[in-house]
Amino acid sequence: MRKITIFVSKLSLRFLLAFGFCHAAQAACGLSLTASNLNLNWDMNWTTQAISVTVAKTNPAACTFGLGFTKGSSGSYTRYAANGGAQLNYQLYSDSGKSLILKDVPDVASANDVIMVTLPPGSNPQIVQYYFDIPYTSAVSPVLVTSGTFTDNFVINAYEGAVATAFTAPPDVSAPVSVSITTATIIALSLVDSGGVFQDLATTKTINFGNISTGQVSRFDLRLRTNSGFSITTTSTNNGRMKHLTANSYVPYQLYVNNVLADPTGVAPVLTGSGTTAMNGLGYPVKVVIGNLSTLAIAGSYQDTVTITATTTQ
């Protein structure tokens, strides 16, 4: 009876040791992540960017894991990059439809919160994609995002296992990502009827005075859309005069922008400013006043062309 008891004890011990060894071999994928830093440019034609991450393993066996994405400096999943006190919202998604926001432990409530990956047997690395987006509305409302460079950092964490809700810190491997977003300088003019809204294609305006008389007035609005400092100048083809179409005869006029007399030579700006505007822009009244009609002005048709130029000063 003693021999039987000793034999069973040794058999039990060997079984426990073998079980422990197999479990350790299955858990260690030997994962590695390669994630590039993000250097992006934003303008009003922005489109969602597909970003690649390279994943690899040293264990030739198949391996399943999930990729979590930290909050960044915002401290929440309303992510943003900063430029001083200015902020530009961005978001990370697992799908191109931008419905599944990527999160990290301990906020993983389902497999939709991470990117689940299964590497098949072998050792070939694979490419995994996530999607980086700058929401259009947040970049243009209530005002345009200021021009400049916005930065942030987040970390991609890999957790071995097939059940996302069971992931726990610390991750098996991590890859930090720095974000740099340069926003383009935006400046645009729109010439509209008095009280009108900004129209992208409204960049010319024709004023027909009909039969003119001294002091006659025509009005319209200039709307300026910008995200930086600006300067507006006006240049007249005939130096602030309308010229007869076929003769050497002139009719003077004055051009006012926001009640400021414009310099027809384009040297002195008629308006300057700083900061950002809404998409509808800043509205400035424009007034054209016919000057004193000289007895030397002959009958006929007169015209002039005024070029209004807006430039950025930042």
- Per-residue pLDDT tens for 41-76? 999 999 999 999 999 999 999 999 999 999 999 999
Joined tokens for residue 37: 């830093």
Joined tokens for residue 270: 């008629």
What percent of the chain has a predicted confidence (pLDDT) above 90?
87
The enclosing domain of 303 has a CATH number of: 2.60.40
Q: Where are the alpha helices (DSSP H) in 105-163?
A: 136-140
Joined tokens for residue 59: 């264990």
- Per-residue pLDDT tens for 99-114? 999 999 999 999 999 9
Residue 1 has pLDDT above 90, yes or no: no
User: How many domains is the chain partitioned into structurally?
Assistant: 2
Q: Is residue 18 part of a domain?
A: no
Calculate the average pLDDT of the chain: 90
Residue 92 has pLDDT above 60, yes or no: yes
Q: Is residue 7 part of a domain?
A: no
Q: Is residue 4 part of a domain?
A: no
Residues 58 and 156 in one domain: yes
Which of 183, 212, 237 is the last residue before a domain boundary? Answer: 183
Residues 100 and 227 in one domain: no
The enclosing domain of 36 has a CATH number of: 2.60.40.1090
Residues 38 and 179 in one domain: yes
Residues 223 and 290 in one domain: yes
What percent of the chain has a predicted confidence (pLDDT) above 70?
91
pLDDT of residue 245: 95
Contact 237, 300 (CB under 8 A): no
Question: Rounded to whole angstroms, how far apart are CA atoms 209 and 248?
Answer: 20
Count of all residues that appear for the chain in the document:
314
pLDDT of residue 235: 97
Considering only CA atoms, which of 199, 189, 186, 143 is closest in space to residue 286? Answer: 189
Q: Is residue 74 part of a domain?
A: yes
The mean-pLDDT minimum among 10-14, 53-57, 64-68, 135-139 falls in 10-14
Considering only CA atoms, which of 135, 131, 130, 138 is closest in space to residue 46? Answer: 135
Element (H, E) at 152: strand 148-160
pLDDT band for 294, please (50, 70, 90 cuts): confident
Give the domain range for residue 196: 187-312
Residues 218 and 111 in one domain: no
